[in-house]
Amino acid sequence: MKSLTSRRARAIVVAIAAGSLALTACSKNEGGKSNADSKKDQQEASVQSKAVTYADAAGSTGPAPEIAGAKSGGTIQVYQEAGLSHLDPGQIYVSDAGQVANLLFRRLTQFKEDDKGNVSVVGDLATDSGQSSDGGKTWTYKLKDGVKDANGKPITSADVRHSVERLYAKFIFDGPTYLQTWLSGADYRKALPGGGFDGKHLPATVLDTPDDKTVVFHFDTARPDLPQTLAMAGYGVVPEESDTKEKYDKAPVATGPYKIQSYKADKSLVLVKNTNWDPKTDSVRHQYVDGFNFQFGITESTQTKRLIADQGEDKNAIQLTNGVEATQIQDVVGNPKVNARVTKGYQPYVMQLTFNLDRVKDKKVREAVTYAVNSKALIAGEGGVYGGDVAPNYFAPTLPGYEPTYDPYGRLKTPQGNIAKASEMVKALPENEKTLVFAYANSENGQKRKVAIEDALTKVGFKVVAKEIDAASYYEQIGKLANPYDIYITGWGQDWPSAGTVVTPIYDGSQVADGSSNYSHVKDAKVDALIKKALTQEPTEAAATWKEAHHYLLENVIPSAPLWYTKQIMLSGSNIGGARYGSVSSLIDINHLFLKS
């Protein structure tokens, strides 16, 4: 799962998991208090490693439970610094668009969260979370009655089939690939190069739609995680007759409670009620407010100032994926009235300084950088104890198999970087290996990260050439195989509670391609063999295999330097009701909001 400056659309985990476009910051929160809070936070985060439950038809039937005190009417203002990465469901794998997708698009399944943070998978378009047979190799879904798109057209199995098959087309390059690879292998595009637009389809032995209400998936091995996979925003349904291919990214057709009234890329997005959405078919979403007014280009610091002041329309405002700006955190947490409007929690992301292995081929360079990076300075820029904790490895506290003491580079003892060791290593390098091209996002947080990375690497003898990238297209740019950068910050979090949703997407050699999440371009035979082995094992057996892969990657391959585990702290206006930290999104639960008056 990526967040915008920490890739991954929407986290699909259990208690406080998911994605942030840009995190928070403050350098005042250090010392013993930080350490104590970090341990407590990590213990709470471990709740997310609990498996979700799969709901039956009764648990999937709408309407969604009423929220205490909820009222109808009004428009929620939504503030965001960078523009949206995508609006085409098939392209959504980043938290900003994932949040919007919760309002716009339905999929076969969806996550449902109660007030205690317990999460289940329910049927969304489907009547339940899915029926498996043939030892888990076959999954059957029946569609609910009365589900229509925003144009009033009933959603049929043909629309679901089309939504899957279009993912094979080349213009879909930035979304999740679990389902496609499970159905057709790593080279899935070869199985249907036309994406279904040319009248050709996947064979019924792979994807079958025997009638208008039935969808059947056939896999070559058991896929017990399918219900969770299908709940990802990237598998939202695209009505076949409305599909405009590349143009769909700018004007998609809604199936959720809201639809697009107007969209000006990087400027604004206005959502209004979708009158063809039937709450009786939806056990998760509500339609309390009349609409959402998204405003882009508002910096995190400006958002924070306006929300602290809480005047005019700011009383009706939320942050989408940004958070409280670093230098203003104390102004928020130190004021009880303002702090009462805070939504915060742990995220599943591990922020890393990723190496482009096609360019940074010398392992000694990667080792030197890994020892040199200053996690302390980076975390200060994110908000200190409110923004994150030092990451000694690639597995977050929210992940099954997390090892808090696994620290091969001494990150916990030297969070500011092991300057002496790194300097000695750099001295031994050839001169042509000492220059590194660093790509960073042109956001406030991107600028802070740039300063911290430049300072740390320059201090030990590297020359850093910094290259600015538009924040909205950040992952698209670094996701190009032929990108001209040596290093860049990325972040990944589990798509559901399994190490396989971390190791496989970003380290599988078969995933090295344009638009893939394998940003370091790792192609290692041992890693690939361990991934293949783990994917055929039961979770308890697989845990040992994922651990072996994790250790081998960090100690022998070094595709990236672990930097920090992320947290989120967000602020809302005083008239926002229902604000809570979403276990699924690791952000404010956008499906749970209303205006108090």
DSSP 551-582: HHIIIII--EEEEEEEEEEEE--TTEES--B-
Question: Could you give the CA distance from residue 447 to residue 456 in angstroms, rounded to a whole number?
Answer: 14
Locus of tokens 């072996």 = 548
Q: How far is CA 550 from the centre of its chain?
A: 20
Question: Could you give the CA distance from residue 330 to residue 304 in angstroms, rounded to a whole number?
Answer: 12
What's the DSSP call for residue 153?
P
The model carries a pTM of 0.81
Per-residue pLDDT tens, the chain, 597 aa: give them: 655 444 333 233 322 222 222 222 221 222 223 334 566 666 555 555 556 789 999 999 999 999 999 999 999 999 999 999 899 999 999 889 999 999 999 999 999 998 877 889 999 999 999 999 999 999 999 999 999 999 999 999 999 999 999 999 999 999 999 999 999 998 999 999 999 999 999 999 999 999 999 999 999 999 988 999 999 999 999 999 999 999 999 999 999 999 999 999 999 999 999 999 999 999 999 999 999 999 999 999 999 999 999 999 999 999 999 999 989 999 999 999 999 999 998 888 999 999 999 999 999 999 999 999 999 999 999 888 888 999 999 999 888 889 999 999 999 999 999 999 999 999 999 999 999 999 999 999 999 999 999 999 999 999 999 999 999 899 999 999 999 999 999 999 888 878 999 999 999 999 899 988 999 999 999 999 999 999 888 778 899 999 999 999 999 999 999 999 998 899 999 999 999 998 788 899 999 999 999
Q: Which helix (H) or strand (E) holds 271?
A: strand 268-273
CB atoms within 10 A of CB 482: 6
Residues in the chain: 597
Q: In what order do the strands lie in the sheet with 560-571?
A: 388-390, 560-571, 342-355, 487-492, 435-441, 463-469
Across-strand partners of 271? 260, 292
- Do 281 and 62 touch, CB atoms closer than 8 A? yes
Sequence-distant (6+) residues with CB within 8 A of 395 are 350, 401, 402, 403, 406, 499, 502, 550
Q: How far apart are the first and last CA of the chain?
A: 36
- For residue 469, give the 3-state DSSP assignment: strand
Strands (E), 307-368: 317-319, 342-355
Task: Report which of 115, 9, 20 is spatially closest to residue 445, judged by C-alpha positions.
Answer: 20
- For residue 525, give the 3-state DSSP assignment: helix
Task: Report which of 188, 94, 195, 166 is spatially closest to residue 479, judged by C-alpha positions.
Answer: 94
Locus of tokens 């950088």 = 369
Question: Could you give the CA distance from residue 197 to residue 240 in angstroms, rounded to a whole number?
Answer: 9
Task: Report which of 302, 241, 310 is spatially closest to residue 576, judged by C-alpha positions.
Answer: 310
